[in-house]
Structure 1
Amino acid sequence: MDRLIVPVLSLVVAIAFYAYKAHRSRGAAPARTPRPAGRGKQSAGSVRLGFVPPERLDADRDQPADPRDGAVRAAVRAGDWQAAATYLAEAGGDWQERYHRAGQLAAEAAKDDAWLLAWRQAHPHDPGAALVNADALIDLAWAIRGNGLGSTVGEESARRFHEVLHRARQACAEAQALGGGDPSPYIVEMALAMGLGYPHERMRELWAETEKRDPYHLGAYTRALQYWCAKWRGSHEESFAFAATAASRAYPGSLLTLLPLYAHFEYETSQDDLDPDEYYKRPEIVAAVDACLADVAAAPPHNRRVPQVRHFLAWCLYWQDRYPEAVEQFRLIDGYAGATPWDYASDPVKRYTEIRDYCADRVVEAGV
């Protein structure tokens, strides 16, 4: 792979990584202001329940860091590509874990790819190295673009963005040819489907290849949902239909019941005249939350995808005035605000703290 990045871009890779993964839509505050206090102030109820003070919240993660991730990222920064190869290979046939690990490595390669070049030179046909290469190019493309709406992207940035995405498309094809039963290269390409505007038929082909390799891959579903959202290449109707299909295929513990909540969230945040205090109380959304609660309860407790779902549940339960249940979710995710829905706000920590503390105050007042 060519040298990926100029020094100035290294300053924005971390921000762009979240833009690429989450594609934030807007940062407006909720229609219902939970409490007037600003960031840095913790409510009495929150303190009483032992929640983490705002200044100690992690705005970059949705859960505690995995020591293995940190160790391998430090190793590759020191040039140890063998550590990367071992780390990726140890995921085995757990495709969701492999996808996660490839993303960790890609984030490092987008900053400095010397170790990846060495890996590829030593093993030109290594499927893991090819996967990381493709993912890193997409990280770079989103770094160039930035995390704003399309209307805010300058002409030169837009040109370079699409140039790198076209390079990434070739890299995805290579990774897919080498990847065998691994769905990860197809999931990675879904970011290209958004950025390059793939027609629906091509996206369906990508999805078919992904689904036959892992029909319950949560990361694949959430990535595809973004494509089908109106803000990218689909419509509200198509995103709701995709989410409903996912939920219909869910088995207890699969976490696919997250998809309807995600689709409703994307719709609500795209409608300026919609009151979330009313919207989330619709019977079909209450039922979707109940289904998701049961799904999470059936999932293995150490499943790294569970916190992502709990963050969404906390958000929805708040709007449904189900404060004790929301507090239960906050107890299990507290300390971490680097997740959707909080990261759609201009200040994720403030958004998280406001809603968490509002729920805590209601629970303490009620003596629950």
Structure 2
Amino acid sequence: MFDPADRVPALGALRTAVHARDWAAITAHFDATAEEDDRPADCRVIAETPGAETFLREVVRQRPRDPLARTLLADRTIQIGWGIRTAAGAQHVSRAQFDQFFAHLRVAEQLLIEVCAEYPQYSLAWYLRVITARGLELGSSETRRRYQRLAEHHPHHLPGQMQLLQQLCPKWSGSWEAAHGFAQEATAEAPEGAPAGALVAIVQMEQYLELRKKENDTAAAGYLREPGNHARLLDAARRSVLHPAFRTGGAPAVAAHSAFAAAHSAAGRPADAAPHFHALLALGNAASEVPWGYLGQYDHEAEFVRHRKLALAAVPAARD
């Protein structure tokens, strides 16, 4: 349920095309993806395919000005670099790991700089440059600048907003004031029915995770149960994923409903989580690893299934 290529036939076919080195099929897939918010998930399927870099380097050699080829190679390079760094805290990453991590990100950055210069409206490249800015430790101002370039052409781009939010959290030298402020601001500025409200759930889960690490599960759950946090979460859902204008399909819908379901579940509110679990079932039994990995560090799928069972028991599906 957490691997989109396993549950979305088009993404499974995209992964197959990578293994078959079928550039025409890959191009056709991206040409058929109408929503810019969906493209990062498509891109990630390729970037997480082991060995894809060999094929993508050959495509770039053959098509040196193709923005898609360079962007996909950049994302695969980022993924390789992040795999070397690992998700461990900086204090647990060796100097050699950091050196290799930065080297990979600089290669990716150069590819993306060229794409952005030649194609200023190319959302995938700007989205990835928000990620490389964080990894290369370029600071919040530069990361915000890159997000703003993305937003100039593609406002309310949820994947880009989620990446900027990571930069604004304390773990990347930000602050809770900045992170919560951005989530509230993005939600307020987005049209009703846009998925930006999920940022409110995500930033609450980020603070929940920090409290779990620094204090304990009781303190973390207590934070989520604070009346103000609960009210903000409900309001954000009403404005976004539960609004009649919300686009119910695509990767942003999965990410947004997953975030709300996780936040309510971690707070012990199965009835509030239920509408989001029902929506995820309608999306093909889907879920996103972030932020479910925050609840189950070692088996987030088991945590997802357990909380979904509680929520669906609290609020069963409506009968026709």
Shorter-chain TM-score category? 0.7 to 0.9
* Alpha-carbon distance between aligned partners in 2 of 1:178 and 1:77, rounded to the nearest angstrom: 29
Cα–Cα, structure 1 residues 202 and 327, in superposed 2: closer, same or farther, change >3 Å?
A: closer
Q: CA shift at 1:302, angstroms?
A: 2.0
Amino acid at match of 2:236: C
* Alpha-carbon distance between aligned partners in 1 of 2:302 and 2:10, rounded to the nearest angstrom: 30
Residue in 2 that maps onto 1:296: 241
Q: CA shift at 1:136, angstroms?
A: 1.3
Q: CA shift at 1:252, angstroms?
A: 1.8
Check the 8 A contact 1:62/1:308 in 2, yes or no. no
Residue in 2 that maps onto 1:339: 289
* Alpha-carbon distance between aligned partners in 1 of 2:298 and 2:91, rounded to the nearest angstrom: 18
Q: Which has the higher contact order (CA 8 A, sep 6+)?
A: 1
Q: CA shift at 1:199, angstroms?
A: 2.5
Runs of at least 5 residues in structure 2 that lack an aligned partner in the other structure: none
Residue in 1 that maps onto 2:107: 167
Cα–Cα, structure 1 residues 257 and 167, in superposed 2: closer, same or farther, change >3 Å?
A: same
Q: CA shift at 1:243, angstroms?
A: 1.0
Check if 1:256 corresponds to 2:208: no
Residues 110-138 of structure 1: CA deviation (Å, up to 9, x unaligned): 52323323322332101111211211111
Check if 1:355 corresponds to 2:296: no
* Alpha-carbon distance between aligned partners in 2 of 1:314 and 1:217, rounded to the nearest angstrom: 21
Cα–Cα, structure 1 residues 201 and 349, in superposed 2: closer, same or farther, change >3 Å?
A: closer
Check if 1:283 corresponds to 2:283: no
Q: CA shift at 1:330, angstroms?
A: 2.4
Check the 8 A contact 2:6/2:12 in 1, yes or no. no
CA RMSD of aligned residues (A): 2.4
Based on CA coordinates, which of the two structures has the bigger radius of gyration? 1
Q: Given the alignment, which residue of 99, 118, 122 partners 2:40?
A: 99
- Structure with more helix by fraction: 2
Q: CA shift at 1:278, angstroms?
A: 2.5
Runs of at least 5 residues in structure 1 that lack an aligned partner in the other structure: 1-57
Once the two structures are superposed, the pairs formed by residues 8-87 of structure 1 within 5 Å of their partners are 58=1, 60-61=2-3, 65-87=7-29
Residues 59-97 of structure 1: CA deviation (Å, up to 9, x unaligned): x337962211111221221121222222222335x3223
Question: What TM-score do the two structures reach when normalised by structure 2?
Answer: 0.86
* Alpha-carbon distance between aligned partners in 1 of 2:104 and 2:87, rounded to the nearest angstrom: 16
* Alpha-carbon distance between aligned partners in 1 of 2:143 and 2:156, rounded to the nearest angstrom: 18
Once the two structures are superposed, the pairs formed by residues 298-337 of structure 1 within 5 Å of their partners are 298=244, 299-334=246-281, 335-336=285-286
Check the 8 A contact 1:255/1:309 in 2, yes or no. yes
Q: CA shift at 1:313, angstroms?
A: 1.8
* Alpha-carbon distance between aligned partners in 2 of 1:351 and 1:218, rounded to the nearest angstrom: 25
Check the 8 A contact 2:200/2:232 in 1, yes or no. yes
Check the 8 A contact 2:265/2:307 in 1, yes or no. yes
Residue in 2 that maps onto 1:32: none
In terms of mean alpha carbon deviation, does 343-352 or 207-216 score higher? 343-352
* Alpha-carbon distance between aligned partners in 2 of 1:336 and 1:222, rounded to the nearest angstrom: 19
* Alpha-carbon distance between aligned partners in 2 of 1:197 and 1:338, rounded to the nearest angstrom: 26
Q: CA shift at 1:219, angstroms?
A: 0.5
Residue in 2 that maps onto 1:233: 173
Q: Given the alignment, which residue of 61, 77, 89 partners 1:149?
A: 89
* Alpha-carbon distance between aligned partners in 2 of 1:341 and 1:120, rounded to the nearest angstrom: 34
Cα–Cα, structure 1 residues 154 and 123, in superposed 2: closer, same or farther, change >3 Å?
A: same
Residue in 2 that maps onto 1:188: 128
* Alpha-carbon distance between aligned partners in 2 of 1:213 and 1:228, rounded to the nearest angstrom: 22
Amino acid at match of 1:276: A
Aligned residues: 304
* Alpha-carbon distance between aligned partners in 2 of 1:68 and 1:363, rounded to the nearest angstrom: 32
* Alpha-carbon distance between aligned partners in 2 of 1:350 and 1:184, rounded to the nearest angstrom: 32
Question: What TM-score do the two structures reach when normalised by structure 1?
Answer: 0.75
Q: CA shift at 1:170, angstroms?
A: 0.9
Residue in 2 that maps onto 1:270: 210
